[in-house]
Structure 1
Amino acid sequence: YLANPPVLMPPTPGEPLLLYISATQYAIGALLTQYDLSHKEKAVYYLSRTLIAYE
């Protein structure tokens, strides 16, 4: 992962986006992806967050 960090690509207007969501009692995460011209799924945006006691 550190040797080859993920690269974000800008979204292509008019093309579908895929949203992956993960949630536990302690953290939330999301990944927004889109297929590029070679039909490979590429990351558009990452999100992760640790929750505090009252969230």
Structure 2
Amino acid sequence: MAIRPPVECPLCHDDLDRDQKLEDHLVGTHSKRTLAKFVVSETVAMNDGDLV
């Protein structure tokens, strides 16, 4: 039986509990500004070709 690794938050890199949803963690733990900065940095990286 294969065991899945825990989901990791892309912002703080915490491993989430098996019963915790990433969306709930993001909304409950991170501010709107932190979430917005992450989205902006990922978008810039994709547009600059830094991400595949």
TM-score, scaled relative to structure 1: 0.25
| Greater helix fraction, Structure 1 or Structure 2 | 2
- With a CA cutoff of 8 Å and minimum separation of 6, indicate the structure with the bigger relative contact order: 1
